[in-house]
Structures are given as C-alpha cells and as structure tokens.
Amino acid sequence: MDKGDKIYVAGHRGLVGSAIVRRLQADGYDNLLLRTSKELDLREQAAVRAFFAEKKPDYVILAAAKVGGILANDTYPADFIYDNLMMEVNIVEAAHRHNTKKLLALGSTCIYPRMAPQPLKEEYLLTGPLEPTNEWYAVAKIAGIKLCQAYRRQYGCSFIAAMPTNLYGPGDNFDLKNSHVLPALIRKFHVAKENGDASVTLWGTGKPLREFLHVDDLADACLFLMENYDDEEIINIGVGEDLSIAELAGIVRDVVGFEGEIVYDASKPDGTPRKLVDVSKITGLGWHAKTGLRDGVAQTYQWFLDNQAELRGVG
C-alpha cells in the first residue's frame, strides 16, 4: 500500500477499527475513508454500493461487526447473524464491483468447532459443531470467510480473511450486559473497589482457558498481512499462549487494586473450554505479538479511568 492510497476502514470507531486507524495514521497513511454507522449503514446494500461507486477505495479493511459476549449472543441472536451477514455481503460485493485491489476481512476464533483440538489450526474450520453460546456470530463470520474465498476463486479478487483471538485494549466496550470477559472484569473489579465490596462474583467456574491479544498488536498484524499475505486460506492472529479465566481475574484484580474475594457462580455457562490459536502460519511469515498481558491490562485500565464519563454503559 502506498501512503496516498485510498484505504477504507469499515468500523473505524470500534475497538479494532480505531486501533487500525491509529496505526495507519502513525505510519503516514493520510487518505483514509472513514464513515460512522449513521453516515453509512453497512447493512443497506444500495448505500454501500453508492459509497464504493463514489470513493472507489484501493484497499478495504473490514473491521465492522456486531460483537458481544455470551449474554449478548444469547439475547440478540437474530441481530448477531443478520447484521454481520449483511455487512460482509454488501462490502465484499461492492469491493469486487469497484475493483478494490485488496480486502482484509476480520473474523474471530469462535468460527472453530467447540471441541476442536488445541491449539486451533486454520484447517479445523468446519470440522465439527460450533460452541452454542456464540453460534449466531460464528455462522455469520464463517459466511464472510467463504465469501472472500468464493470471490477469489470466481473473480480472482485479492480478498483475505484473518481470525484474531480474544481482543482487548483502548476503546473496548465496558458495558456489563454486552462486553467480553476482560473489559467486564476491569469494570467489575473497579466498581467493587470503589464501593468497598468484600467480593466479586464471576460467571462460570474460572477454569476455561483463553488467549488475549492487545488490539494494537492486531492492528500491526493487519498491516503486516496487507503487505505480506495473499492466499485463499484463513490465517490466525494471536499470541500463542493462554491462561485460565481465574488467572486472568487475578491479574485484573491486582492491576485494579481490588483486595476482596473472587467468587465463581458455577450455575452460569463457561462457554468453550479452551480457545488457543495456532499462530505458526503468521509467525512463519515473520510477525509476532509484542504486548505482554499484564502491561496491556494496565494500559487498558488506565484508558478506562481516563474515559469513564464517555464509555458505553458506564455512568
């Protein structure tokens, strides 16, 4: 990508998109095409086609998505499958119609089967049943992968798909009803500390194993892939190491400074038992994550403290 190329980052105000924009701007890319969801509803085909017809982006990074944790997926299944399907279909088709040079679609490691062998290799896609607690989102993301592959096969489009592991960092969603586990832990321990609570209750047993990638590392990986990867097969983005939810909770508690007890409500679902990605493909190309988890959590907590007044679901 040249510095003056027109680069459309779909979802630029979200956790992922905002990190990608920060990185592009820091690297001197100054012709970014950015639209809020109010300015351009990606679920509306006519609007997306009109935008692409007018702007004709050279490169597209598809970071727009409706995302959330177990509770959100269970509460809004229709929204999760419809919104994500429509955004992917409309952008991929428009990119093809208007000769986008390259498109990167970002998925999620929830596309892998619930009981797939660990670590998760790219070839495990569609080899078994999905985790029920997020299948709506996963099915939509799998469709996005297949869209990219189909347009590559039929039209020769340079469309690639990458699967990041669990993400966190500045710009995350801290609303307890809709957030993922790490920002939810930050919020819960912070509130408990402020209230002087004796304990914090967490969903599940604390035993599931998870991997966490700082969103700035993901942004770095996205630019790396735009320059160095052009293949039909999906590629994982992660750190290659995991830890239990209980271990994560301990790190977050220490960073926040909460001194009370952690209680686990085993009547609540755990989700997938383990979700560690095999990163040998991307590391073989020369990319590695740089941010340590404790440092990343501390940075994210500081961002939370600095931005509480404006955050979703935080008053």
Asked if residue 210 belongs to a known ligand binding site, the reply is yes
Residue that is written with structure tokens 């099915």 in the block:
139
Q: Does the annotation flag 206 for ligand binding? A: no
Find out whether 107 is annotated in a ligand binding site.
yes
In angstroms, the CA 69 to CA 87 distance is 20
200 burial (CB, 10 Å; 0-12 / 13-18 / 19+) is buried
The answer on whether 141 is annotated among ligand-binding residues is yes
Q: Is 165 annotated as a binding residue?
A: yes
**Per the annotation, does 164 bind a ligand?**
yes
The answer to whether 17 is annotated as binding is yes
Q: Are the CB atoms for 272 and 114 separated by under 8 Å?
A: yes
Find out whether 18 is annotated in a ligand binding site.
no
Nearest by Cα to 277 from 253, 252, 242, 248: 242
User: Which of the following is catalytic: 137, 168, 229, 301?
Assistant: 137
4 labelled ligand-binding:
no
Residue 265: both structure tokens together: 């409500």
Residue type, 66: K
Instruction: Determine whether the annotation assigns residue 27 to a binding site.
Output: no
**DSSP, residue by residue, 78-112:** HHHHHHHHHHHHHHHHHHHHTT-SEEEEE--GGGS
196 assigned to a ligand binding site? no
Q: Which stretches does DSSP call E strand in the chain?
A: 7-10, 32-33, 59-62, 102-106, 159-164, 166-168, 199-203, 209-210, 212-214, 235-237, 243-244, 261-265, 274-275
How many CB atoms neighbour CB 311 within 10 A?
A: 17
Measure the CA–CA gap between 206 and 27, rounded to whole angstroms.
40
13 known member of a binding site: yes
Integer Cα distance of 15 and 302 in angstroms: 16
66 is known to lie in a ligand binding site: no
Q: Is 112 a catalytic residue?
A: no
Question: Residue 166 annotated as binding?
Answer: yes
Strand 209-210 to 243-244 pairing: antiparallel
146 among annotated binding-site residues:
no
Is 195 labelled as part of a ligand binding site? no
Residues at the binding site for NADP(+) are 11-17, 106-109, 141, 164-167, 180
Catalytic residues: 137
Residues at the binding site for substrate are 188, 203, 210, 270
Residues at the binding site are 11-17, 106-109, 141, 164-167, 180, 188, 203, 210, 270
